[in-house]
Structure 1
Amino acid sequence: MSKHIKFYPLIFLILSAHGCSQRLIDEQVIFWDDYEQNSRPIIGTDSSFYIFHNSAERYFEFNDSRNLGRFERGGITLNLGGIPEHDYIRVSFDLYIHDKWEGDGERGNGEDVFIMNIDSSTLYFSSIINTKCQSQDCEAIQSFPDIINIRHNPENAEVKDASLPGVCHFKGERGGSKLIEIARQYPHGSSDLRLNIAADIKDAGPDLCLKSWSIDNLKVTIVELPEI
């Protein structure tokens, strides 16, 4: 979704435990991409590059926006270098789940899994299911937002919009696509970052009609804590 933002450090004030002095937390957006044709990524580092894996198309028009995707088992790897001094990395983006994801563990050939890694650490390896259920009382269960094999979360756990239309298998049907707003903060201090956003989905078909996924509004923010 196209958005206009200003690229500058965001300063927040935090009162100390004594209530007298103030400490500053410095937040700085180092990467932003909304994938629209009339805009270019905002990059606040010395170097960056994408690697695309198994994308049916590079871009995809959906929900009145231009998304990156659609994808099957692949995804993207974003490499950033020359990152300023910081203590945490925050990654946020819109994740769209399209059509018939089967992440309840009932299939014999495995689950449909969403994956996100920062460097060598896994933040998500989580099964997701989509049966077009649009409420918070769905019978189907999944592991997302928890790790795989923890299946006590309902379909639509942490879903922002469960009523979007399907793309192919559930084309035009409400609930055929789901929007999840991902936002994760992780301890990080290196000047280099390798971010992998991917999935392992089964039997999507050669045209990704049965199931697929896409992303929008990818943002990477660094957070520097005040010295004590």
Structure 2
Amino acid sequence: MLFSFSLNACFKDITQRNVIYFNDFENQSRPYINVYNAVGPIDSSKITLFNNTHVLGRFNNDLVLFEMDNLPNHNVLKVEFDLYLHDNWKGNYIAPGRTAPELWYLLLDNNNIYQTSFSNNNFDQSFPNNYQAGMTSIKALSNAWGVLPGICAKAGQEKGTSMYKIEIITSHKGAIKLAFNNDASTPLTLCEKSWSIDNLKLTAITNQF
């Protein structure tokens, strides 16, 4: 039998939470967010309609950069968003001429948080783990919160889009720089595969003991 106890008389556990950013993209604006392709900044909003809601996307090999300064003091950061993977994502399949699968990336302050693969096909994937050679693969659509029709290459097909709720809680101080990206064999082909995000929410948390 396991017993546990805590001593609360001498310490106060005070947690302060400040939602510093939320965007469901329904107003079709993207403050603090810039989008870049291989040529440079993209001026268009890149906000489109999918499944009766506005999303930021679609992207394929574009860099989406969120940057915010002047945050309230905090020592923990919580990042939440919905991630949609549209059409032919092939998980851990390695195409001829490549040494790794086509991966999706999330970086916080230039540090890799996710370097992972997703599958809307019969191939296994690495998410919710990061991809590494020789890893134990995970069944396609594992941990998906929703499965929807595709947009282009899999238009009208079931399991053509998968949706994942991403939540990250990490130690953090200062300004925020979030980078979203993917690498692809066909970087300019949105019809073949693409991704988008929705309901981006950032919470600055201060834990005081």
DSSP-derived class of the 1:195 partner: strand
* TM-superposition CA deviations, 1:179-209 (whole Å, max 9, x none): 000001111012x111111211222554x11
- Determine what percentage of the aligned residue pairs are the same residue: 27
RMSD: 2.2
- Of 52, 64, 72, the residue aligned with 2:52 is 64
CA deviation after TM superposition for structure 1 residue 154, in Å: 1.4
User: Is residue 49 from structure 1 mapped to residue 32 from structure 2 by the alignment?
Assistant: yes
Any runs of at least 4 consecutive aligned residues in structure 1 with deviations exceeding 4 A, and if so which? 19-22
List gaps (5 residues or longer) in structure 2: none
DSSP-derived class of the 1:18 partner: coil
- Of 17, 22, 26, the residue aligned with 2:6 is 17
- Of 133, 139, 145, the residue aligned with 1:154 is 139
- Of 128, 132, 135, the residue aligned with 1:145 is 128
User: Is residue 102 from structure 1 mapped to residue 86 from structure 2 by the alignment?
Assistant: no
* TM-superposition CA deviations, 1:165-190 (whole Å, max 9, x none): 10000001111000000001111012
The one-letter amino acid of 1:167's match is I
Equivalence map 1:1-228=2 (5 Å): 17-19=6-8, 23-37=13-27, 49-54=32-37, 58-108=46-96, 109=98, 110-131=100-121, 140-149=123-132, 150-162=135-147, 164-190=148-174, 192-203=175-186, 205-206=188-189, 208-227=190-209
The one-letter amino acid of 1:30's match is I
* Count of residue pairs brought into register by the alignment: 195
List gaps (5 residues or longer) in structure 1: 1-15, 42-47, 132-138
CA deviation after TM superposition for structure 1 residue 19, in Å: 4.9
CA gap 1:151/1:61 in 2 versus in 1, 3 angstroms:
farther
